[in-house]
Chain A
Amino acid sequence: LAKYIKNEEYPDLSKHNNHMAKVLTKELYGKLRDKQTPNGFTLDDVIQTGVDNPGHPFIMTVGCVAGDEESYEVFKDLLDPIISDRHNGYKATDKHKTDLNFENLKGGDDLDPAYVLSSRVRTGRSIKGFTLPPHSSRGERRGIEKLSVEALTSLDGEFKGKYYPLKSMTDAEQEQLINDHFLFDKPVSPLLTCAGMARDWPDGRGIWHNDSKTFLVWVNEEDHLRVISMQQGGNMREVFRRFCVGLQKIEEIFKKHNHGFMWNEHLGYILTCPSNLGTGLRGGVHVKLPKLSTHPKFDEILTRLRLQKRGTGGVDTASVGGVFDISNADRLGSSEVAQVQLVVDGVKLMVEMEKKLEKGEAIDSMIPAQK
């Protein structure tokens, strides 16, 4: 029976609009259907979220996830074309540059705080030797948490801090974390729940942050670790310095335990969602651009600067009071320094444009060429 109905497994993607649906032909499905990673993650596991979430006519989601590091190898015939579509034509033979040397960033310490309200850089890291959130078992998740807590609580100086496990935080701690905008909640987005990332919640999940609340790590949310450096105002340079230094300190500790971060020279840092490969970095600011944001060329300017806009609630939210979240659009194929440089230079330019528009002057001559 199993054999006779096997060729009826191909999903109906006729109403779908996501990267997976564009790439996964019936032939390709047949070719990959019987493969699995050494941890038992299958093609059906990879694509489930994309099958369950047909997508939106305007927003192209990825539609697949990795369950472990090996997924990117075993299912490369599916994932390479998706990566190429998502990351500007990135080829299977391309190499990704990693540069976490904050000193290579030019400027970034003088974004006008009258316009730039806050600055933030985030990325993700996966711990080698464990499967990723769509596939990890409770035991693995707890192992990740244990290692992470060990690493983080050993930090000192500006990185001295505390871990708050989700399942045992007090009401007072929870209240504080909410007020600080640090607390993350059980995922409700079907993009994540259909990929199995909310299983066993809140077991093994938690939040660590330093005493000065400028460096924050989420454990076992959408990735093993999400690392965030942030502060009020426009000193992106300082935010990036702390980001790089903190990451490198953490990585050293994990390496000592023979559990370094997942990384390779083709895909950079390996994360759950193919959209976050490479640097996994989103560096951005909350910036007041009430005039520029209503200018007919706003979106074009962003595209040319290789930036994207979001509302101040994050992805899929609307802007409030002319304040936008502006961040780098790229993740793979350029380094951390290069991506943050684009944010720094681009935001600086847009603030100058805003000031010009305030004075009633035109900005046409300032519109940049495509970066």
Chain B
Amino acid sequence: VPFGSHYVILNLYLCSAEYPDLRKHNNCMASHLTPAIYAKLCDKATPNGYTLDQAIQTGVDNPGHPFIKTVGMVAGDEESYEVFADLLNPVIKERHNGYDPCTMKHPTDLDSSKIHSGNFDPNYVLSSRVRTGRSIRGLSLPPACTRAERREVERVVVEALAGLKDDLAGRYFSLTQMTDEEQQQLIDDHFLFDKPVSPLLTCAGMARDWPDARGIWHNNDKTFLIWINEEDHTRVISMEKGGNMKRVFERFCKGLKEVERLIQERGWEFMWSEKLGYILTCPSNLGTGLRAGVHVKLPRLSKDPRLNTILNNLRLQKRGTGGVDTAAVGGVFDISNLDRLGLSEVQLVQTVVDGVNYLIECEKRLEKGQDIKVPPPLKYFK
């Protein structure tokens, strides 16, 4: 439809009454939602009835922070990424360093044997962890799912997990039915997740009907853990004390592939596409959805003014040991990969391995009174 036609003008006029006031906003959605794009998409809906207003509500309600740029929108289902592509593609491009879903393909690689040097010095690395998310194709995502869909996600996943064996064998703890003792144990193990309080999540509707169909599954060894129906259908976590990131990643890949096989046996599959990799609720978690990280003691490096540049060049980010938006305590940092999309799981974990080894080397040099070098910036994808 040529610009300037009656349809476009009328649509712009009617939709302009609805266009959000984003003048005080600083998030990716606000940066890309022009009145023209809003007018084009405002009366569209996915086959499940999810609308643009729903997708952007969290970004409208949470103007953001001058220093931290949040995404400002979510997907309500797999089709959101198609129906609202005119907005989501530029948002994805900004968030994922220029990755263009229109022209690029995302590589998936869960072959953990390719990782080298992935066993860190335990004098520095206290724990290692890899997490990702997986969505069940055919069911709406947490911002939009009905109670029945959420219960179906729980049913499908719990049934599949019951088929895991050997070091992966475990059990499920439903949030609605766990006993006080079970709850206390899960808290002590740092496994329990709580009803979201962050307005980024609550404004997107992810806490509805809490705690219905939410739960935690973990293996008997407590090294493989799955959250059901929190911010995504599933969050999959492999973790251990100490520095054996390679083993953590091995278990991660093995567990994921097993779960996938088990759901496929029952006629289900994960949401995945060539363009976007694994489909999750937040556009920031597309691709691998993978955050591989360690808790590492870097007391001297933590005081070095070059730390942030070093991390940036290594494509790493730091967090406090309480996770996102917490502070470091006692020189112990949570260090993980910055990127999610455009690089494979193997590539990202290797990046973390190489980066953490470098940081430990820096710390050792500082201990000996030697100087450290800022490494050159890693090249991103083509």
Known: A8-B151, A11-B212. A139 touches B18 (CB 8 A): yes
Tell me the nearest residue of chain A to B14, going by C-beta: A139
Are A200's CB and B60's CB within 8 A?
A: yes
A193 within 8 A of B: yes
Given the interface pairs A8-B147, A52-B208, A143-B17, the reply to whether A199 lies near B202 with Cβ below 8 Å is no
Distance of A137 Cα from B148 Cα, bound (Å):
27
Is B334 part of the binding interface, using a Cβ–Cβ cutoff of 8 Å?
no
**Minimal Cβ-Cβ distance residue in B for A200:** B60
Given contacts A199-B61, A201-B61, A203-B21, contact A5 B208 (CB under 8 A): no
Report how far A139 CA is from B53 CA in the complex, Å.
12
Cβ contact of A6, chosen from B21, B57, B148, B208, cutoff 8 A: B148
Contacts of A6 in B (CB 8 A): 148
Q: Give the residues in chain B near A51, CB-CB below 8 Å.
A: 208-209, 212
Query: In the complex, how many angstroms separate the beta carbon of B305 from the nearest chain A beta carbon?
Result: 36
Instruction: Report the count of interface residues on B (CB-CB < 8 A).
Output: 24
Q: Total number of A-B contacts with CB less than 8 angstroms? A: 56
CB-defined contacts of A137 to chain B, threshold 8 Å:
18, 53
A5 adjacent to B149 (CB under 8 Å): yes
Q: Are A9 and B20 in contact (CB under 8 A)?
A: no
Question: What distance in Å separates the Cβ of A193 from its nearest Cβ neighbour in chain B?
Answer: 7
Closest to B18 in A: A139
Q: Which residues of A contact B146 (CB under 8 A)?
A: 9, 44
Asked if B109 CB lies within 8 Å of chain A CBs, one says no
B358 at the interface (CB under 8 A from A): no
A203 touches B20 (CB 8 A): yes
Taking CB atoms, residues of chain B closer than 8 Å to A59 are: none
Q: Which of B299-342 contact A (CB under 8 A)?
A: none
Closest B-chain residue to A48, C-beta based?
B208
CB-CB < 8 A to B152: which residues of A? 5, 8
Q: Nearest A residue to B195 by beta-carbon distance?
A: A52
A312 to nearest B CB, angstroms? 29
Shortest C-beta distance, B24 to chain A (Å), equals 8
Residue in A8, A12, A48, A138 whose beta carbon sits within 8 Å of that of B20 in the complex: A138
Q: Whole-angstrom distance between the alpha carbons of A203 and B53 in the complex?
A: 14
Contacts of B207 on A, CB cut-off 8 Å?
52
B210 at the interface (CB under 8 A from A): yes
Flag whether B377 is at the interface (Cβ < 8 A). Answer: no
Give Cα A1 to B151, complex, Å. Answer: 13
Partner of B18, one of A7, A138, A199: A138
Extra 4 A-B pairs, beta carbons < 8 Å, given A9-B148, A52-B210:
A11-B212, A142-B17, A200-B61, A203-B21
- Using a CB–CB distance below 8 Å, which chain A residues touch chain B? 1, 5-12, 44, 48, 51-52, 137-139, 142-143, 167, 193-194, 198-201, 203
Interface residues of B (CB under 8 A from A): 17-21, 53, 57, 60-61, 138, 146-149, 151-152, 176, 202-203, 207-210, 212
8 A-B residue pairs with CB within 8 Å? A7-B148, A9-B147, A9-B148, A48-B208, A51-B209, A138-B17, A193-B202, A200-B20
